[in-house]
A and B are shown apart, each in its own frame.
Chain A
Amino acid sequence: MPTTAALALGDDALVLSHRLGEWAGHAPVLEEEVALANIALDLLGQARVLLSMAGDEDELAYLREERAFTNLQLVEQPNGDFAHTIARQLYFSTYQHLLYGQLADSDSEFAPLAGKAVKEVAYHRDHAEQWTLRLGDGTDVSHERMRRACEALWRFTGEMFQPVAGLDVDWSGMEAAWLESVGDVLRRATLALPEGPRTGAWSAGAGRQGLHTEPFGRMLAEMQHLHRSHPGASW
């Protein structure tokens, strides 16, 4: 059971870290090159600890196929424009902050990791919040882009609160806190909580069952190809 949970949380961090890594050299301003890489590195660090709790980090990252990954569909979504990246980050870091906050105070085997990670994630959440405010309450163009991004990713937010085996967490309390926190940021950004279903592709929780969206397979192909081309080699 704890292995299931370590994989789920580890895959979330690994996949989002990879997506953020795709921004390197493409960010809108130099400070964001630093910030996005920084967040990507924090997440990769978390992923390495979590995957190592479940087995060999490289075997798990590079030799599993799409159906064996249990990350949320939210984190595998392509970067899109900067607003999409920020909306994804706001949704996910708010979730991670609440989750790690609970785990840090628990007596689970995730407590040490969560205690360290919750500090990193607080910074990620702050970064996403500040950019949500700037984009939502910036120009007409940025407002519209931020609104569209929040809408487009909304459907993937329900799966975050599907219970994960091995994690003793108050999921419904966490969902209520998440809605309040994200709703507050969006209101201050002159945006509103989107309406509409939150079931993801397939059904809420599908990502945790290894059911993913199409772009994910190509992401893995790129991530794994070199490692798979040299079976047994060490790097």
Chain B
Amino acid sequence: MATAAAHRTAGAPAYGAPDAGPEGDIRQRAFDAAVAADERIEPRDWMPEAYRATLVRQIAQHAHSEIIGMQPEANWITRAPSLRRKAILMAKVQDEAGHGLYLYSAAETLGVSREELLDKLHSGRQKYSSIFNYPTLTWADVGAIGWLVDGAAITNQVPLCRCSYGPYARAMVRVCKEESFHQRQGYELLLALSRGTPEQHAMAQDAVDRWWWPSLMMFGPPDDASQHSAQSMAWKIKRHSNDELRQRFVDICVPQAESLGLTLPDPDLRWNEERGHHDFGAIDWTEFWDVLKGNGPCNEQRLTQRRRAHDEGAWVREAAAAHAARHNGKNNGPTGVEQA
């Protein structure tokens, strides 16, 4: 580890430092060497401005996805069909808020504030995962989200546990543990439906039919259309390409669908002996870009609800800040409340 430790330039500002000039060259070389040696970049280390900006974008969007992702599932909390399922779903939605908190904290180590990031989410300047723009129309959707959406998220996130930026990698370790638990619960929910009454089985199949393709889209555009991929892989933020991860996910899901007794809605899906992978049909990229641009089934609704929660909560945050200011920080507001 000592080989490239020179990137830990004592006392150097972590960001905003000039990248150019002889000193910048030295720092750049030290940074490159640290990344090459699989060392972790930490908040006080020098880093290229573009690396910082990419991480802020990615971590913020990841955090936003956790927060917006609470909505489609929370939609079923009040209608969960048994108390056991209700408890599981409540715990899951609570975990997601917690993941959002870890991730905003990780982003804040890069010199941005949670307030600033939420503002960008609310004004549409930063995105969240396109998957959450699909509606949860039946109880089985809760299971399909657990199995497929959380499954895709885990496939994406497990390699991020080795991401070059330390705070993000460490957040991912915690997030992935909880996500795999959610994923198994979703699978188990679908299994109960699949083995239940004919109506329950049909409900499960319908949910898988609707969530399969959007889940495959979660890995992002194909490699030849992914604008950030090459640089992110060079920086070891990303470890595998979108298409590699998507293939891995399909290969994992096919046998799971079989043991669930459910089919995947793709007539072209078959095992390819030569490749040692499943071939699968073409993704509707027009739909993907459309949803990303804001024209999915729930884009408007999700953002409106998020903005409303924030706006209607303003007086509460102001009260906490005023109280804290008056009482010298005793009985402080929650950590996220801006001290006025």
Query: Is the Cβ of B199 less than 8 Å from the Cβ of A138?
Result: no
A98 to B: closest C-beta gap in Å: 23
Query: Is the Cβ of B318 less than 8 Å from the Cβ of A138?
Result: yes
- Residues of B299-340 whose CB lies within 8 A of A: 305, 308-310, 312-320, 322-324, 326-327, 331, 333-337
- Could you mark each residue 77-100 of chain B with 1 if its beta carbon is under 8 Å from any beta carbon of chain A, else 0? 111111111110011011001101
In the complex, chain A residues whose CB is within 8 Å of the CB of B81: 62, 226-227, 230, 233, 235
**Measured between alpha carbons, how far is A45 from B70 in the docked complex, in Å?**
21
**Measured between alpha carbons, how far is A137 from B323 in the docked complex, in Å?**
6
Q: Does A198 contact B (CB under 8 A)?
A: no
- Could you mark each residue 1-35 of chain A with 1 if its beta carbon is under 8 Å from any beta carbon of chain B, else 0? 00000000000001000100110111111111110
CB-based nearest B residue for A226: B81
- B85, B331, B336: the one contacting A133 at CB < 8 Å is B331
Q: Does B71 contact A (CB under 8 A)?
A: yes
**Measured between alpha carbons, how far is A29 from B71 in the docked complex, in Å?**
15
Query: Is the Cβ of A25 less than 8 Å from the Cβ of B317?
Result: no
- A47, A81, A133, A235: the one contacting B82 at CB < 8 Å is A235
- Could you mark each residue 35-70 of chain A with 1 if its beta carbon is under 8 Å from any beta carbon of chain B, else 0? 001101100110110010000011001100000000
A58 to B: closest C-beta gap in Å: 5
Q: Does B139 contact A (CB under 8 A)?
A: yes
**Measured between alpha carbons, how far is A40 from B90 in the docked complex, in Å?**
8
A50 to B: closest C-beta gap in Å: 11
Query: Is the Cβ of A139 less than 8 Å from the Cβ of B82?
Result: no
CB-based nearest A residue for B315: A141
Number of chain B residues whose Cβ lies closer than 8 Å to a Cβ of chain A: 56
Query: Is the Cβ of B305 less than 8 Å from the Cβ of A29?
Result: no
- Could you mark each residue 278-315 of chain B with 1 if its beta carbon is under 8 Å from any beta carbon of chain A, else 0? 00000000000000000000000000010011101111
In the complex, chain B residues whose CB is within 8 Å of the CB of A61: 83
- Could you mark each residue 253-282 of chain B with 1 if its beta carbon is under 8 Å from any beta carbon of chain A, else 0? 000000000000000000000000000000
Q: Does B28 contact A (CB under 8 A)?
A: no
Q: Does B197 contact A (CB under 8 A)?
A: yes
Interface residues on A, range: 35 or more
| Known contacts A138-B319, A139-B315: A34-B309 contact under CB 8 Å | no
Q: Does A107 contact B (CB under 8 A)?
A: no
Q: Does B173 contact A (CB under 8 A)?
A: no
In the complex, chain B residues whose CB is within 8 Å of the CB of A142: 315-316, 318-319, 322
**Measured between alpha carbons, how far is A41 from B84 in the docked complex, in Å?**
11
Query: Is the Cβ of B93 less than 8 Å from the Cβ of A24?
Result: yes
A173 to B: closest C-beta gap in Å: 30
In the complex, chain B residues whose CB is within 8 Å of the CB of A230: 81, 197, 199-200
Q: Is the interface of A mostly helix, strand, loop or mixed?
A: helix
- Residues of B55-93 whose CB lies within 8 A of A: 67, 70-71, 74, 77-87, 90-91, 93
Q: Does A209 contact B (CB under 8 A)?
A: no
Query: Is the Cβ of A48 less than 8 Å from the Cβ of B87?
Result: yes
Q: Does B192 contact A (CB under 8 A)?
A: yes
Q: Does A225 contact B (CB under 8 A)?
A: yes
Query: Is the Cβ of B331 less than 8 Å from the Cβ of A58?
Result: no
Query: Which residues of B are interface residues toward A (Cβ below 8 A)?
Result: 67, 70-71, 74, 77-87, 90-91, 93-94, 97-98, 100-101, 104, 139, 189, 192-193, 196-197, 199-200, 305, 308-310, 312-320, 322-324, 326-327, 331, 333-337
5 more A-B residue pairs beyond the given contacts A18-B78, A40-B90, A61-B83, with a C-beta to C-beta distance below 8 A: A24-B74, A25-B309, A29-B313, A33-B70, A44-B90
- A sample of 16 cross-chain residue pairs with beta-carbon separation below 8 angstroms, ordered by A number, consists of A14-B83, A24-B77, A24-B90, A27-B309, A30-B100, A33-B93, A34-B97, A38-B94, A41-B87, A44-B83, A134-B319, A134-B324, A135-B319, A138-B322, A141-B315, A235-B139
